Chain A
Amino acid sequence: MSIIAEHATLLLAMACLFGFFMAWGVGANDVANAMGTSVGSKALTVKQAIIIAIIFEFAGAFLAGGEVTATIRKGIIDPSLLADTPELLVYGMLASLLAAGIWLLVATHFGWPVSTTHSIVGAIVGFAAVGISMEAVAWGKVGTIAASWVVSPLLAGTIGFFTFMSVQRLVLDTKNPFESAQRYVPMYIFIVAFLISMVTMVKGLKHITAFKALNLNFFHDAMISVGIATLVTLIGISMLRKIKMVPSENKDFHFTSVEKLFGVLMMFTACAMAFAHGSNDVANAVGPLAAVASIVSSGGEIGAKSAMPMWVLLLGGGGIVAGLVMYGHKVIATIGTNITELTPSRGFAATLAAAATVVLASGTGLPISTTHTLVGAVLGVGIARGIGALNLRVIGTIFMSWIVTLPAGAGLAILFFFLFKGIFS
């Protein structure tokens, strides 16, 4: 306990630094996967994608990131075992942040597909199991998290499959697809907006005291969400109105005008995806920081009940924005130009499915991998015979990274854990 009191400022500063570093890495790299589909399908320019990403990633992290942060902070490790040695938890969390951040940076450099979620969870489990004891890990919770990594791509794939099937049924396979799109695209916009606002109302705003005072029940939440979604849909309709059928552009490919309508929809799903990503992945980055902050501020007490400081989420949001501004545009541009196979009607189905899955998982506090969920969603659209060609070998590599990232994150975290332990004690 004396160690924490002695080095309180230093430990907190390190946690902030490492947390910011990791959030920066998430912004620089991971965001591109969320926004790349929109840029690739020409629904958004790179600049627009960056602006949307900044706003919605930040909003997602700040408004809906609380649950996942809580899971990372106190769900994986059984805190009761560490009551006497809180400094070990601080070292561990610092080590996990640094390990995950570095692993992310290395993997990004070599172009390996890695998941923020997997690296941070692997790191925390690693240091706890090896550095402290096998019993320190809440294996039940870890099992749930690991199961969600399998379930989430499957769920996203299923949603993607049925979303795309509904697009075919309602829009593409009709006598006048353009008119059908004008009619049904607002419905999809409504669903997206409702989903996001509902999760935010029910799960996200809990930690904002001003909202707690309002004392809203589930019914109120639903009504407000419907209101917000209606408003968003009206905006969407006015944007759709501006798009006119141009017969000449449909000469070679009959669906060119229709795809433009889906481009509008894609813009909304891109917002949702950025929001979902912010709520899940930023939380991964700041979860350990929140843990350190709560221990240090309470002077060494591992308070499982202490409220999460707001500035932690703000710092995470700031880090992701910094990463986006510095590197994200480059990555989005490269990925965006490569994904030309994903037309707006497919891109929207994939991102809607992924965003829905991530947002729901974030609401329940499960940290899942955004990239893998998106891969699952794209596969779902592919199975609905929507995508020209998918490279199964690459998909295999992506799934392999599930397994590789865990020991890598764990190994680095163990290394840093003993390093910090050696330095401070």
Chain B
Amino acid sequence: MVANSPFSRMFGRSPIGPIQEHISKAHECAEQLLPFIDAAMAGDWEEAKRLQKALSALEEEADRLKKNVRLSLPKSLFLPVPRNDLLDIVTVQDKVANRAKDIAGLMLGRQMMVPAPLQGAFRRYLERSIETSAQAVKAIHELDELLETGFRGREVSVVEAMIEELDKIEGDTDDLQVALRRALFKMEQDLPPVDVMFLYRVIDWVGDLADRASRVGSRLQLLLAR
């Protein structure tokens, strides 16, 4: 008799699930960088190319999810938190995926080699940067618990602790970046200048990745601050 009751249509689809899905996908992009760098540092450009393609596909997927979230948040939706804050979170999250794609694209395009003495430090730096993104995912996945408690109280402190941890990890990447730059500076006159220039840029972007992931945390913090 009734196929589409107005009473059940009254409930919009909560944007929280899609937002979490999106950050998980963005994080997958970042994670993909690790095997890519390993292949690149080993000089296996066939494999690196394959991994870069996969990363690119993941980034497109994240883009699609981002659009999904945006379209499912019409102005007529009544949400427990400001709509703009949720949209901002998605925008920032998406930039993590974009940066991961940039890094892989640049390194593959120029067939960049990380100098052997720097490889260990570089990998550690990238790992830590990806951990920042992992922590952001963890924090965003608390959103449904936050909804359950009405975005207040004890759960808020849990998430705030997570965001603090996120900032700490991001701080680590800064230190690692400084150390890596210093090491590169010491050996830069023995390397082709253009390569060095781009290596600095890649180092910069890896730091950027962590920075963007930590900005997801700041956005989440804004959502809780009231």
Contacts and interface: CB of A to CB of B under 8 A. Distances in A.
A74 B210 CA distance: 73
B15 interface: yes
B4 A111 contact: yes
B154 to A, nearest CB: 5
B153 A389 contact: no
Contacts, number: 139
A255 B145 contact: yes
Interface string A381-425: 010111111111111011001000000000000000000000000
A254 B145 contact: yes
A338 B148 CA distance: 19
A36 B149 CA distance: 23
A388 B2 contact: no
A40 interface: yes
Interface stretch (B43-51, B73-81, B119-127): B73-81
Contacts of A174: 154
A255 B148 contact: yes
Interface string A340-361: 1111010000000000000000
B150 A327 contact: no
B16 interface: yes
A335 B76 contact: no
B1 A330 contact: yes
A421 to B, nearest CB: 32
A341 B11 contact: yes
B144 A391 contact: no
Contact of A335 (B2, B145, B152, B155): B2
Contacts of A172: 148-150, 153
Interface string A6-41: 000000000000000000000011001100100010
A253 B144 contact: yes
Given A173-B152, A173-B155, A253-B144, A391 B3 contact: no
A335 B5 contact: yes
Given A111-B4, A331-B1, A334-B3, A173 B149 contact: yes
Contacts of A108: 1-2
A330 B1 CA distance: 8
A341 B3 contact: no
Contacts of B78: 382, 389-392, 395
A29 B147 CA distance: 31
B110 interface: no
A338 B11 contact: yes
B76 A389 contact: no
A29 B144 contact: no
A387 B147 CA distance: 7
Contact of B10 (A111, A327, A343, A390): A390
Interface string A152-165: 00000000000011
B109 interface: no
A36 B79 contact: no
B8 A335 contact: yes
Contacts of B150: 164-165, 168, 172-173, 384-386
A79 interface: no
A369 B78 CA distance: 23
Contacts of A398: 6-7, 10
B19 to A, nearest CB: 11
B9 interface: yes
Contacts of A391: 9-12, 76-78
A312 interface: no
A387 B11 contact: yes
A175 interface: yes
A113 interface: yes
Given A168-B149, A173-B149, A335-B2, A382 B76 contact: no
B217 to A, nearest CB: 20
A379 B4 CA distance: 20
A32 B8 CA distance: 10
A28 B1 contact: yes
Interface string A309-349: 00000000000000000010011001100111111010000
B151 interface: yes
A371 interface: yes
B64 interface: no
Contacts of B154: 173-175
Contacts of B15: 388-389
Contacts of A386: 80, 147, 150
B13 interface: yes
Interface string A276-288: 0000000000000
B79 A394 contact: no
Q: Which 4 A-B pairs have the closest CB atoms?
A: A388-B14, A173-B153, A389-B12, A338-B8
Given A29-B2, A172-B148, 17 more contacts: A32-B5, A108-B1, A109-B1, A111-B2, A112-B6, A168-B152, A173-B152, A254-B148, A334-B3, A334-B8, A335-B8, A340-B11, A387-B80, A388-B12, A388-B13, A388-B14, A388-B15
Interface of B: 1-16, 76-81, 144-145, 147-155
20 contacts: A32-B5, A33-B5, A40-B8, A108-B1, A111-B5, A113-B7, A168-B153, A327-B1, A335-B5, A339-B8, A386-B150, A388-B16, A389-B14, A390-B12, A390-B77, A391-B9, A395-B78, A397-B6, A398-B7, A398-B10
